[in-house]
A and B are shown apart, each in its own frame.
Chain A
């Protein structure tokens, strides 16, 4: 397949490892991400999901391995770049966090929060910036009078929309969603999932979607990476993995999900019997 801007690889991770005090948090992880796809990363707490995406974005420094990113200026290797070299690339890689209460500065207005990335990256003049902020506000379906208000005036779902607007204002290619819908009520969660899917098709975004809720992953992701103890145990098309898991750990994880159908009883597999 030829690489065109619309398809082709956006990210290549090869042999990535990260140790904390000698303990492996992520070990020898390799995978590719195609443009405009949503790759889910699932696993229990402590499996290394968040450490993996943070090491890819260089929020922490990986100890081994290669992270190749197909930037606007061509392929680059992120793992050895200096902080200064990374600055222009940060425009192309953004993150949406879990907790909409902790991730917004309570002393900044919504306008200041969404505009700040443009100022940091010196994009446009003041009037161009406010136009961009207004445009992004419409994308995330917030009212224009939100601009002068502070985060405390918004509900959890609305705050998450503000966080999404801040992440997307620089028009990134790669967006990491780290448990971005986990803290939300189911009806609000549905709205934010729909918004993320709409924005993906409007703006051509590529998502790395870290989540522990497997039903959310099944709905939103194209492919999925199953992590256990810092390693990738299984990867593939999301429907294949959910319908026909090959690895014991994936089976254990899926068997633990309580079905919303009372006639499908919960029969979790036993970790010890599987030797995990």
Chain B
């Protein structure tokens, strides 16, 4: 398998007044090139912290205390991200150039005082040696590609003149305009209406197939995972519990936590019966204790105590 990103034993601590919090504990997964990898988990599971590690934007009091992230961009020598020095030119290239990010709230990613055209063009000028005129033209092309019509007028408008869905389209244009190797989407549709979410998900899916880049998609929504992901990483309390293809994880989960997560979705439960909660599904398995990830015969990986692992393998 051609792997674009290899995360191994990644550990992040947050030092707070209440003591040390282990936000990530030995997180490891591979991202296949040209595919969509989804990280799914509840709040506090470490999904966003993982993404921020890849971009090297962990803010104090958080700190990466161990592990490696091997990155193999096409047409470039592979390098390791965690050990990059603060002044390493590859760090600047990484952020927004080789890897770019789309966040949940588009207004925090956009400046209110520049036109959308200006902001998309700026992303080009930051990372590539092109003139202003060409940057502007490429910005216009990218904005059209993400579905902004009437471009000659709209490119001169400000983010506040756009709806939430249109703003997110602008952020996606900004993220893709430098042809990144990896696009990281951190809950990009959570703040949007379901109808707009469907449009944005379709857009991300179509662009990914068209441009062939790899996507790391972070979400808590199983429906979004099902529609977009090729591979799924399930996280809980800073650890990876299960990795597999989207069908393995969603249709035939092995880990009791994954089973619980799926059982708690209201749409799948029979009406009139109480919803399953994760606690009832997980039962006696102590999911707060770390177990090493073990690869099963069908290729998926799970973190379970030895005795339950045998049951899972069958």
- How would residues 153 to 192 of chain A score, 1 for a CB under 8 Å from any chain B CB and 0 otherwise? 0000000000000000000000000000000011111110
B209 at the interface (CB under 8 A from A): no
CA distance A8 to B133 in the complex (A): 70
- How would residues 223 to 263 of chain A score, 1 for a CB under 8 Å from any chain B CB and 0 otherwise? 00000000000000001000000000000110111111111
- From known contacts A218-B271, A219-B275, A262-B246, infer whether A45 and B193 are also in contact, taking CB-CB under 8 Å: yes
- From known contacts A187-B260, A218-B266, infer whether A265 and B227 are also in contact, taking CB-CB under 8 Å: yes
CB contacts (< 8 Å) of B201 on chain A: these are 258, 266
- How many residues belonging to B are interface residues under a CB distance threshold of 8 Å? 40
B226 partner, pick from A188, A255, A258, A268, beta carbons under 8 A: A258
Q: Give, as a whole number of angstroms, the nearest-CB distance from B285 to chain A.
A: 15
- From known contacts A187-B260, A194-B274, A266-B227, infer whether A256 and B220 are also in contact, taking CB-CB under 8 Å: no
CB-based contact A261/B226 at 8 Å: yes
CB-based contact A258/B224 at 8 Å: yes
CA distance A193 to B196 in the complex (A): 26
CA distance A98 to B145 in the complex (A): 36
Q: Give, as a whole number of angstroms, the nearest-CB distance from B150 to chain A.
A: 14
CB-based contact B277/A185 at 8 Å: no
A262 partner, pick from B43, B226, B267, beta carbons under 8 A: B226
CB-based contact A219/B266 at 8 Å: yes
Within 8 A of A (CB), among B176-235: 193-199, 201-202, 220-227, 229
- How would residues 138 to 160 of chain B score, 1 for a CB under 8 Å from any chain A CB and 0 otherwise? 00000000000000000000000
CA distance A45 to B193 in the complex (A): 7
CB-based contact A260/B266 at 8 Å: no
CB-based contact B42/A259 at 8 Å: no
Q: Which one of A66-74, A87-95, A208-216 is at the B interface?
A: A208-216
CA distance A186 to B226 in the complex (A): 16
B72 at the interface (CB under 8 A from A): no
Enumerate chain B interface residues (CB-CB to A < 8 A).
42-43, 193-199, 201-202, 220-227, 229, 246-247, 250-251, 260-262, 264-269, 271, 274-279
A-B contact pairs, 21 of them (CB 8 A): A44-B194, A44-B195, A185-B42, A185-B43, A186-B222, A187-B277, A187-B278, A193-B275, A197-B274, A215-B267, A218-B266, A219-B266, A256-B194, A257-B223, A258-B221, A259-B223, A260-B222, A260-B250, A264-B226, A266-B201, A271-B195
The 8 nearest A-B residue pairs measured at CB: A215-B267, A258-B223, A268-B198, A256-B198, A219-B266, A190-B275, A190-B264, A187-B278
**What would 9 more interface pairs be, CB under 8 Å, given A190-B276, A214-B194, A262-B227?**
A189-B266, A190-B278, A193-B266, A194-B277, A198-B274, A219-B269, A239-B271, A258-B226, A260-B226
